[in-house]
Amino acid sequence: MSFDGGRTWTGRLIATGAALGHACDARLVWDRYGNLWLTHIAANGGVAVEVSTDGGLSFRRVTEIIPTAPKGYTAPKDARSRQPGLLPNVSDEPAVAVGPGSVWVSYTSLPSGVLQAAGAKVTGLGHFGSFSAPQSVPTKAGFGGFPGAGGIAVGPRGQVLVVYQNMGGQCCSRIYTALDPDGLGPRGFGSPRLLADTNVQVGLRIPAQPNRGIGAVPSLARDWNGGPHSGPVYAVWTQRPKNTANTAIMFQYSDDNGTTWSTAVRLGGDHAVSQFFPAIAVDQCTGDVAVSWYKSGDTNGHPNSDAQIWATFSVDGGATFAPDFRVSKGTSNAKDAKNFFDYGDYAGAAFVSHRFYQ
pLDDT for residue 197:
87
- Note if the bond before 138 is cis, omega within 30 degrees: no
Which comes out higher in pLDDT, residue 13 or 144?
A: 13
pLDDT for residue 129:
97
Q: Is the pLDDT of residue 338 over 80?
A: no
pLDDT for residue 312:
94
Q: Is the pLDDT of residue 272 over 70?
A: yes
- Note if the bond before 323 is cis, omega within 30 degrees: no
Average pLDDT, integer, range 183-210: 88
pLDDT tens for 208-220 read 888 888 888 999 9
Q: Please give the domain boundaries of the chain with CATH numbers for all domains.
A: 1-141 (no CATH), 144-358 (2.120.10.10)
Rounded distance between C-alpha atoms, residue 205 and residue 282, angstroms: 30
pLDDT tens for 124-179 read 999 999 999 999 888 754 455 565 556 899 999 999 999 988 865 545 688 899 99
pLDDT for residue 77:
61
pLDDT tens for 43-76 read 888 899 999 999 888 899 999 999 887 776 666 6
pLDDT for residue 149:
56
Q: Collapse the DSSP code of 92 into the 3-class scheme (helix H, G, I; strand E, B; otherwise coil) and give the result.
A: strand
Rounded distance between C-alpha atoms, residue 218 and residue 220, angstroms: 7
pLDDT for residue 79:
44
Q: Collapse the DSSP code of 335 into the 3-class scheme (helix H, G, I; strand E, B; otherwise coil) and give the result.
A: helix
Look up residue 315 and give its amino acid: V
Percentage of the chain lying above the pLDDT 90 cut:
42
The predicted model scores a pTM of 0.89
Spatial neighbors of 280 by CB under 8 A, at least 6 apart, are: 150, 219, 220, 221, 234, 235, 236, 289, 290, 291, 349
